[in-house]
Amino acid sequence: MIPYTSLTGNKRRIPKLREAGWRFFVSATNLTKSTQGFQYAIDNGAWTAFRKGIPWREDQFVRALDLLGDEADFIVVPDIVEGGADSLERTLEWLPRLEQYRLVLLPVQDGFEPCQVIPYLSDRVGIFLGGSTGWKERTIPLWGRVAREAQCYYHVGRVNSMRRIYRCAAAGANSFDGSSPAIFPDKLARLDVARRQTSFVFDY
């Protein structure tokens, strides 16, 4: 699996992340730091807005696309965290606007059913597993099966433990992200051991 973590400007941490082969997960709300030559993916910024209790800003996402979109591994289509039908509506409004990018991920949130997203999945539209922690934990295997059947890319968000890395691997995830390796010095080594121990390895 391909591991992603948050952008960091920490000069001691960057070489360790580079050596371990991690990539950056760039939030549309945090474009002040250089990607330091790392490969990266773009998050739409909805999670950061949700966590801070502020409105999501379309202009920040558009700016992220303008600055970094062409070279991104993938782009997470705008959504609403734990937003149910409203989240899917926002995502489907944005899908046609992102056709120029080689890989975009459709976020699935609490209460989503496979039948709601399967018609949109393809080799360039994959799955981003978001939602609340409990719902994510319960549905990691389900969305892995959906991705395999649709032959599409599968990414799991907010993965910050060895146990969850193993669960992602067992479900066939192509990649995951977690902020802790960029923040806590001792986390990178442990999480990377878990990643390398998994029997599922994907390149995309």
- When mean pLDDT is compared across 5-19, 35-49, 186-200, the lowest value belongs to 186-200
For the chain, give the percent of residues with pLDDT over 90: 82
| β-bridge partners, 26 | 42
Mean pLDDT calculated for residue range 102-106: 98
Confidence of residue 10 (pLDDT cuts 50, 70, 90): confident
Q: Which residues pair with 128 in a beta bridge?
A: 107, 155
Helix (H, G, I), strand (E, B) or coil at 12: coil
Sign of the CA dihedral running 76, 77, 83, 85: negative
Task: Give the domain ranges of the chain.
Answer: 2-197
Nearest to 98 by CA among 137, 59, 124: 124
Tell me the per-residue pLDDT of 48-91, one tens digit each, with 9 for 90 and over.
889 889 999 999 999 999 999 999 999 999 999 988 899 999 99
In sequence order, what are the beta bridge partners of 27? 43
pLDDT of 16 above 90 = yes
Architecture of the structural domain at 2-197: Alpha-Beta Barrel (3.20)
pLDDT of residue 32: 65
Bigger pLDDT: 36 or 185? Answer: 36
